[in-house]
């Protein structure tokens, strides 16, 4: 319990720099009550006016919270969201940031993850992430290959990369906790090739089986595999074509994160990349849909405009 309390203090003090008198809103659902309560206490210790708001769990990552929750988020100085489904790619989160809130989402966070990945050196992660983000922001085309057969090209010219550093001290800043990735929204309709998820995706567990996704003109056209692939098709079916949009390329930068089958941590693992399908409106794209699902690829090689920045999972610009 003491380790959880200390991790909660890192969230409140180090990552979000909560100050005395600030309005802090913690949005939670039932599975994450214990973690939310620890963050509540840590925020209260810092003298914040902290409010805990529980909602019914969402059906999918990226689904909007209730209107009452969304409205409250816009009036907070800080919003912390330990929930079972991600609120990262929601209009509610975007509008809270636009209103000035510092915000952190913690989708499907676990106590073990809190203790492990939140104790990383976030100054190092920030430096690493900024270097990668600069390459993404000035690049035109990314190619990702991997030993599992992944070979996909994504056009990124004109899009801005974003570092998820774990340090959100300025008005309107946002990221995940635990943090540690650099990401960008590829241009819609331009990605070509295939990527094979061998880490985790949606409800599929780590290292159980691969999911192969074929991509034409920016959309997934076919999902191949066994039970995990069938489950993925079932999850995205209600959301239509936009849920198959190539939404994100992300590069993990957290050297303390481990592959566990939990996307929140898996996508941060140093030496991996992830490609997401669905909504990209929260990161500078044009597709808005209530679904955003990341797929982890191990041991990737990443080229930006022909320059190697990662080779077989080893980052070359660290």
224 and 301 together in one domain: yes
Percentage, residues of the chain above pLDDT 90: 83
**pLDDT band at residue 120 using 50, 70 and 90 as cut-offs:** confident
Is 207's pLDDT higher than 70?
Answer: no
Distances (CA, A) of 87 to 27, 69, 95, 283, 288: 10, 11, 12, 13, 14
Question: What is the domain-level CATH number for residue 113?
Answer: 3.40.50.2300
The pLDDT assigned to 73 comes to 98
Number of folded domains in the chain?
A: 2
Final residue in a domain of this structure, among 86, 117, 148: 117
Is 209's pLDDT higher than 90?
Answer: no
Q: Are 253 and 128 in contact (CB under 8 A)?
A: yes
259 and 211 together in one domain: yes
**pLDDT band at residue 116 using 50, 70 and 90 as cut-offs:** confident
80 and 23 together in one domain: yes
**pLDDT band at residue 295 using 50, 70 and 90 as cut-offs:** very high
111 and 212 together in one domain: no
Mean pLDDT for all residues in the chain = 94
Between residues 250 and 113, which one has the greater pLDDT? 250
Is 1's pLDDT higher than 80?
Answer: no
What would the pLDDT profile of 229-263 be if each residue is shown by its tens digit? 998 999 999 999 999 999 999 999 999 999 888 88
173 and 277 together in one domain: yes
The pLDDT assigned to 17 comes to 97
CA pair distance 11, 15, nearest whole angstrom: 5
As a whole number, mean pLDDT of residues 31-49 equals: 97
Final residue in a domain of this structure, among 117, 139, 167: 117
As a whole number, mean pLDDT of residues 9-34 equals: 96
Closest among 302, 257, 254, 256 to 275, alpha carbons compared = 302
Is 206's pLDDT higher than 60?
Answer: no
Domain of 146?
122-315
191 and 295 together in one domain: yes
Torsion angles phi and psi, residue 219, rounded to 5 = -130, 145
Whole-model pTM? 0.83
The pLDDT assigned to 202 comes to 67
87 and 147 together in one domain: no
The residues near 3 (Cβ < 8 Å, ≥ 6 apart) are 114, 115
CA pair distance 205, 168, nearest whole angstrom: 30
Closest among 255, 271, 275 to 263, alpha carbons compared = 275
63 and 146 together in one domain: no
């Amino acid at each position: 319990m003491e380790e959880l309390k200390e991790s909660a203090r890192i969230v409140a003090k180090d990552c979000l720099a909560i100050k005395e008198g600030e309005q802090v809103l913690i949005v939670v659902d039932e599975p994450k009550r214990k973690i939310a309560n620890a963050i509540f206490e840590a925020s209260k210790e810092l003298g914040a006016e902290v409010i805990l708001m529980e909602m019914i769990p969402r059906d999918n990552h990226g689904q909007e919270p209730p209107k009452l929750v969304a409205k409250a988020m816009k009036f907070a100085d800080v919003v912390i969201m330990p929930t079972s489904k991600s609120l990262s790619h929601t209009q509610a989160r975007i509008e809270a940031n636009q209103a000035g809130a510092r915000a952190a989402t913690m989708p499907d966070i676990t106590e073990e993850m809190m203790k492990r990945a939140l104790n990383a050196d976030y100054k190092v992660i920030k430096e690493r992430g900024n270097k990668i983000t600069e390459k993404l922001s000035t690049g035109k085309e990314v190619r990702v290959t991997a030993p599992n057969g992944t070979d996909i090209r994504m056009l990124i010219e004109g899009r801005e990369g974003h570092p998820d550093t774990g340090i959100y001290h300025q008005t309107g800043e946002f990221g995940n906790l635990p943090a540690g990735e650099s990401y960008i929204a590829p241009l819609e309709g331009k990605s070509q090739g295939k990527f094979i998820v061998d880490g985790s995706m949606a409800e599929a567990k780590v290292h159980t089986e691969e999911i192969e996704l074929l991509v034409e003109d920016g959309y997934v056209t076919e999902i191949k595999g066994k039970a995990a692939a069938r489950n993925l098709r079932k999850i995205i079916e209600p959301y239509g074509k936009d849920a198959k949009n190539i939404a994100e390329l992300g590069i993990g930068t957290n050297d303390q994160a481990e592959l566990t089958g939990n996307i929140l941590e898996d996508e941060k693992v140093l030496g991996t990349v992830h490609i997401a399908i669905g909504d990209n409106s929260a990161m500078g794209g044009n597709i808005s849909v209530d679904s955003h699902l990341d797929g982890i690829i191990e041991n990737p090689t990443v080229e930006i405009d022909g320059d190697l920045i990662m080779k077989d999972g080893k980052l070359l610009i660290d």
